[in-house]
Amino acid sequence: MIPSTTTAHNPTAHSHNAQDFCVEEFSVTARHRESVSQGVNPRWNISTFLSTFPSIMTVSSKYCPLLLVVSLFFTPGCAFLSDWDDSAAPLVPHFTACVSREMTTFSCWWNPGSFQNLTSSQDIKIIYHKKSPIKSEWNECPQYDFQNRECYFDAKHTEVWVTYCLEIHVHNVTYTNEDDCFTLNDIVRPDPPVALNWTLLNLSPSGLRYDVLVSWDHPPSADVNSGWMSVEYQLQFREVNSTKWKDMEIQSQPKQTIYGLHIEREYEVHIRCSMKPYSKFGEFSKSIFIQVTGTGDDGTSFPVMLVLIFGISGIVIIIMFIVVSQQQRIMMILLPPVPAPKIKGIDSELIKKGKLEELNLMLSGGGVGGLPAHAPDFYQDEPWVEFIEVDTEAADCGEKEENQGSDTQRLLTLSQPVPPHMHIGTCNVNCFPGDDSGLASCYDPDHPDQDPLISMVTLLPGQPEDREGVSDRGLDPVRATAPQTWVNTDFYAQVSNVMPSGGVVLSPGQQLRVQENKDESKKGSNPKACEENATDVHFQLLVVDPEMTESKQNSTPSTPPGSVEGYQTVPPQTLESRPTEELQSTYILPPESPQSPVFTPVADYTVVQEVNSQHSLLLNPPAQQVPPPSCQSQHPLKPLPAMTVDYITPELFGHLSK
Amino acid sequence: MILQETSLEDTDMDRSKGRKLFMTVLCLVAVSGALPIADLLDRAAQHSDRLHSLSTLLTQEMDTHFPFMEQGTTPQPSQCHTSTLEGPTDKVQALQVSEHTLMSLLRSLLQSWAEPLAFLSASANTLPHPAHSSIFNKIQQLQQNSKSLRHGLDILSARMGPAAQVVSILPFYRNDPGDKISKLINLQFQLNCFRRDSDKIDSFLKVLRCRSGRMRPDLC
């Protein structure tokens, strides 16, 4: 509770005073109050004021609440706390401002109002009193300055954390505003800083902008060194011809950097400061002007940069155009397409559509897109690749005989006036002894009766001509005329082995053509070759088991050749060279010795049934036990059923072989 | 208003962190004695800066809603409970007085406000003021800040000697007016008293700081 020095007022006095209060709030007129000079606290007792507010509403004019609201924005009692606008000066003497510059002294300025000629101390008196614990008397202004209408309080008369209340006495009449009281920290406004100057920090690379360091010194009146005042600065700058100032941050260092000023423009800079806790700024200093003129470098460096930039962008655009227009070619160069598996001269579309008739036609060389006469060159150095060579000499050969226009028929000609062996001999230019080309179709020229292509013909479906031809001719005459051992040499034969000597072992059911045997007399050697071939026609399926350290060479299962067994077991073996090697995939070893006994040949495609405990593979037996290519008997030819399969199954093969 | 609150909360976070840092630094100092007094005083001055700005904000917030109370609440020195503490009242005196006297005066002031702040924060909760929650928060922050400053000054004074240990705690009379308006007025008045005292504390600490760091112009 505020201990108030006022005594309780009677309601009428209340209302009267309230009205006056409202009026004064609005018009800011000093009240003639004798009670003030008597020391009665003129301040309004707020509680009583509030309690009498309803009465005020009724008693006083209806503008009072409005005035009260207006008073929210305008507190004339704190004339020294808010900035005073002197233009709406009332007619009574009043104080315009009180300012302390260094928190040691302060000054107050008054306005005489309607009174003129207040030049002496007799006319006007400034009285103040300090609200201190010790009830001090009212004192007069220690120093008058009538010229400036200033009352100056020096250091002796200034106390910091004390409330001062000032009044004006003119002709013994007291004029006072409501509570012209203040404490020193409310009125501190430091002087502006001094020695404002600037230095150029740096220039931008383009030469159009620069940075500036502005520095100054604290106002000399502010005693910063002893710590009595701590000062903060605020810089403002603007272009000379603009009206808006740009504020910089408030900070306490006596220097500030301004970035990004333009060349050839003039800037104006000024600064002001405030005491740190109080946030009331003093006046601005005088402005300084900053201007930096451009140097000659601006002209040359900048266009060079521009030219460079444009040039590079132009080049980039051109490259983009090239890339976009030549996209396909570049893609071809950079990412060449993977060649699809393709036979030259044969459209892959045909294969996709399943048109095997045309395909066979083409394969056989008939039609437009026939196979090339020469074998592709890139297979020359791979002897194990078998292919059919139908070359130009064959074509020449073909001319000698009746030219049926197809290679197949040429190969198949049986009834020809020309002795076949001669024909064959001249035509088979690739069949040289010791030739490692491994041509399956290279048959012995000494056996003119061979017709290696009979079975192939039968295998190739959709060749009505040939079949017809075959059927016309019948197989019997062939059988009769060609007691041959070289049958079942197909266009496509599966290589099952490569002999160390260089020969090729075909899949079982066919006989091996040993190159060395070509030049010998074949009739007699045939069975021998048969045997040899038979001996060689076996293969071993080796499963490498890493756990097995010793190598077991399985040359023979102890099965007699030709014995019929439900299953054939192939025990596992390991390489003796590297016992700790990783598990290898199944591979085929060449037979160790040609003397190894024959065991039942395995079909081309065999299904692995299971792996038993000894890590041996149990294979499916072939559908029919195919007897080894008999050397004893001639290989009979059988008429084959018409079939349209693409590959030989064991059943079919059985048919063939029987 | 809300922005003000959040910013103050953020500063409160910083302040609590700063306070902890301050405390650890001071503890280290108490143990090792390595940190010079100048730095300690610098830290204490920063604390008092925040204290003063907080109290100024608080009084402004109180006044924004009841401007007409401003006139009636400029505290008379005789009415603040710390008015009997004698201290320098102008610059000359402040610069003449010894450090120990200043330090003991500071500590007395702070100690004297410990209890009243607690009381005021309790009464601020039930204020008939539109922003009473924010005021309550600020008073709480004031409490914490002054507490940490108190501890810091205790440690500082321990290093300064026995003369700085003299502390006089002034009594505070809790007058609990019945009606709420009077409570409001009382609170505003007390906060103004506190603002004045925090201003004193701030000024004295800055004088002390500058005095202690003669070789370091950045402290002044």
- Which residues of chain A does B181 touch, with a Cβ-Cβ cutoff of 8 Å? 47, 50
* pLDDT over 70 at B87, yes or no: yes
What's the rounded Cα separation, in Å, for the pair B25 and B39? 10
- Which residues of chain B does A181 touch, with a Cβ-Cβ cutoff of 8 Å? 74
Whether B177 contacts chain A with CB within 8 A: yes
Contact B203/A228, CB-based, under 8 Å?
yes
Model confidence at A633, pLDDT cuts 50, 70, 90, reads very low
Q: Which of A75-79, A178-182, A589-593: highest mean pLDDT?
A: A178-182
CB A189 within 8 A of CB A171: no
Which one is predicted more confidently, B120 or A66?
B120
- Which residues of chain A does B206 touch, with a Cβ-Cβ cutoff of 8 Å? 227-228, 230
pTM: 0.49
How many angstroms separate the CA of residue B126 from the nearest CA in chain A?
Answer: 17
pLDDT tens-place string over residues A385-404 = 565 655 555 445 545 444 44
CB A178 within 8 A of CB A152: no
Which one is predicted more confidently, A27 or B98?
B98
How many angstroms separate the CA of residue A275 from the nearest CA in chain B?
Answer: 11
Residue percentage of chain B with pLDDT more than 70:
83
Looking at residue A383, what is its pLDDT?
61
* pLDDT over 50 at A265, yes or no: yes
Burial class (CB in 10 A: 0-12, 13-18, 19+), A336: exposed
Nearest to A124 by CA among A80, A85, A81, A170: A170
B74, B188, B196: best to mutate for the A interface, most A CBs within 10 A: B74
Model confidence at A544, pLDDT cuts 50, 70, 90, reads very low
Contact B79/A3, CB-based, under 8 Å?
yes
Residue A170: strand pairing partners: A124, A173
3-state secondary structure of A145: strand
Model confidence at B84, pLDDT cuts 50, 70, 90, reads confident
Pairing assessment for the beta strands A267-275 and A288-290 based on DSSP bridges: antiparallel
For the ranges A361-365, B33-37, B165-169, B193-197, the lowest mean pLDDT is seen at A361-365
Looking at residue A65, what is its pLDDT?
52
* pLDDT over 60 at A161, yes or no: yes
Average pLDDT estimate for A124-134 = 72
- The ipTM value here is 0.78
Average pLDDT estimate for A78-87 = 50
For the ranges A15-19, A328-332, A536-540, the lowest mean pLDDT is seen at A15-19
The pair of three-digit structure tokens given for residue A183, joined into one six-digit string: 């404490």
- Round the CA-based radius of gyration of chain A to a whole number and report it: 62
Residue A127: strand pairing partners: A140, A167
CB A516 within 8 A of CB A471: no
Contact A225/B210, CB-based, under 8 Å?
yes
Whether B79 contacts chain A with CB within 8 A: yes
3-state secondary structure of A243: coil
Contact B56/A277, CB-based, under 8 Å?
yes
How many angstroms separate the CA of residue A133 from the nearest CA in chain B?
Answer: 5
* pLDDT over 70 at A589, yes or no: no
Which one is predicted more confidently, A351 or A67?
A351
Cα atoms in the 13 Å half-sphere on the side-chain side of A633:
8
Q: Which residue of B has its CA nearest to A162?
A: B77
Looking at residue B160, what is its pLDDT?
82
Q: Which residues contact residue A529 at a Cβ distance below 8 angstroms, ignoring those fewer than 6 apart?
A: A485, A511, A512, A514, A517, A522, A631
User: Where exactly are the structural domains of chain B?
Assistant: 1-34, 37-219
**In the predicted model, what is the mean pLDDT of chain A?**
64
Average pLDDT estimate for A279-304 = 80
Specify the fold of B37-219.
Growth Hormone; Chain: A; (1.20.1250)
* Residue A572 CB neighbour total at 10 angstroms: 20
- Which residues of chain B does A78 touch, with a Cβ-Cβ cutoff of 8 Å? 70-71
Model confidence at A318, pLDDT cuts 50, 70, 90, reads very high
For the ranges A506-510, A554-558, B113-117, the lowest mean pLDDT is seen at A554-558
Q: Which residue of A has its CA nearest to B55?
A: A277
Nearest to B142 by CA among B172, B121, B119, B125: B121
For the ranges A29-38, A116-125, A484-493, the lowest mean pLDDT is seen at A29-38
**In the predicted model, what is the mean pLDDT of chain B?**
81
Average pLDDT estimate for A143-163 = 87
Residue percentage of chain A with pLDDT more than 90:
15
Q: Give me the residue from A44, A158, A225 closest to B90, CB to CB.
A: A158
